Amino acid sequence: MTRWIFTFLSFFSTIFFPWIFTVVLALVTSLLEPLIPLAIGLFADTLYYSPSAEIIPFFTLYGAIASIVASFVRSRLKTSIIME
Amino acid sequence: MKKTFLAKRNAIFSSENISWGTFALSISVLFLLLRLLAPNFFWQIFTPMFRMSETVSEKSQAIFNSFKDTAELASQNEKLTNDNAALANENRTLLQKIKNISGFAPDVRGIVAGVIARPPESPYDTLVLAKGSNDGIELGMEAFGVSVQADAGVVPLGVVSMVLSNFSRVTLFSAPRMTVNGWVGHDGLPLSITGAGAGAMNASVPRSAGIEVGDIVFAPGPGMLPVGNVIRVDNEPHSSSVALRIMPLLNPFSIAWVELRSTGAVATSTIP
């Protein structure tokens, strides 16, 4: 349920709140679901990316990096005694 | 005897295998495909949401403001009531003037379009407008806003960089890598204005030009139109030029309406 709420809030925030708030929310959600930053980054660029303003879709790029880092951290925690 | 029914399980699409992250990513990819394949339909879907977003931000602003000191609010209210009465009179006079003038110059005004998304929601220094080619908007048209600052009047904002049938996008002069030729100071010194992102712009002029903080920067519209103020002059000791940091006259975070005109003053080649 918590995952659902945070996932929904992240998408909601992309449209309704300034981008910095969305970034924080996506990073918090990545602790529960590592793919969320990538999904939110892709969604943000789908809404706002303009090829004329930037060559690189930064939100997708940073989202992918955050997802990779979150996945790595989770994999390390799974193999450690903290998650046991 | 009570029978026990077991639900059939799908080996491929089991809810246990699909995480919320995968689901969210699928939704994002779906929206991306929708934008690429049917951009006009995509914006039709999201326009009501952006309108709601605007309403939410206005309401939240009002709530935060209500926490201010009540005495201050009362005096402010009294002052605003007086101002309102004065402005209503002025408005009536101006409306009468417009009626008189519009008969002489019916084609002076361009196309007025509402802004659906602006910074910071739209993070690349762009504005998404609720009008497109069906309303006569063309690629390369110049966008103007109206500044409430004294004597600023109409302010050039950017150039139309994408047009769909019902929507269009304006790339602001402050967008990174956006370049436009303009002028600065009382003498109208020519300079090249470069976007720096987040509503700011940069330019470089010779040190001997004597440009100071507060000087007005102009961009081409019909003639020279003020676009921003010099807020900082960065001196490099060993350089013959100085870097100007320019703040726009019109805050891109609060633009609700823009006017679009084919001025021909800003070439589409200046859009990055």
Tell me the pLDDT of chain B (272 aa) as tens digits: 555 555 555 544 455 556 788 888 899 999 999 988 888 888 888 888 888 888 877 777 777 666 666 777 788 888 898 889 889 888 887 876 665 544 444 445 678 888 887 776 666 788 888 888 888 888 888 888 876 554 556 788 888 888 888 888 888 888 887 888 888 887 778 888 888 877 788 888 887 777 888 888 888 777 778 888 888 888 877 777 888 888 888 887 778 888 888 876 665 555 65
- Residue B80 belongs to what domain range? 68-106
Residue B139 and residue B86 in one domain? no
Out of A11, A16, A46, closest to residue B53 by CB: A16
Alpha-carbon distance values, B156 to B218, B221, B255 (Å): 9, 7, 12
Tell me if A38 and B161 make a contact (CB, 8 A cut-off).
Answer: no
Residue B87 and residue B163 in one domain? no
ipTM value greater than 0.90: no
Nearest CA in chain A to B175: A53
Residues of A within 8 A of B29 (CB-CB) are: 42
Residue B29 and residue B146 in one domain? no
* Residue B2: inside a domain: no
Is B52 at the interface with chain A, CB within 8 A? yes
Find all residues with CB under 8 Å of B10, minimum gap 6, and list them.
none
For B11: left if phi > 0, alpha if psi spans -120 to 50, otherwise beta; the answer is alpha
Out of B22, B28, B52, closest to residue A43 by CB: B28
Residue B89 and residue B58 in one domain? no
Residue B231 and residue B174 in one domain? yes
Tell me if A50 and B169 make a contact (CB, 8 A cut-off).
Answer: yes
Residue B40 and residue B89 in one domain? no
* Residue B185: inside a domain: yes
Residue B122 and residue B243 in one domain? yes
Residue B146 and residue B268 in one domain? yes
Number of domains in chain B: 3
Tell me if B121 and A19 make a contact (CB, 8 A cut-off).
Answer: yes
* Residue B3: inside a domain: no
* Residue B5: inside a domain: no
Answer whether 0.80 is exceeded by the pTM.
Answer: no
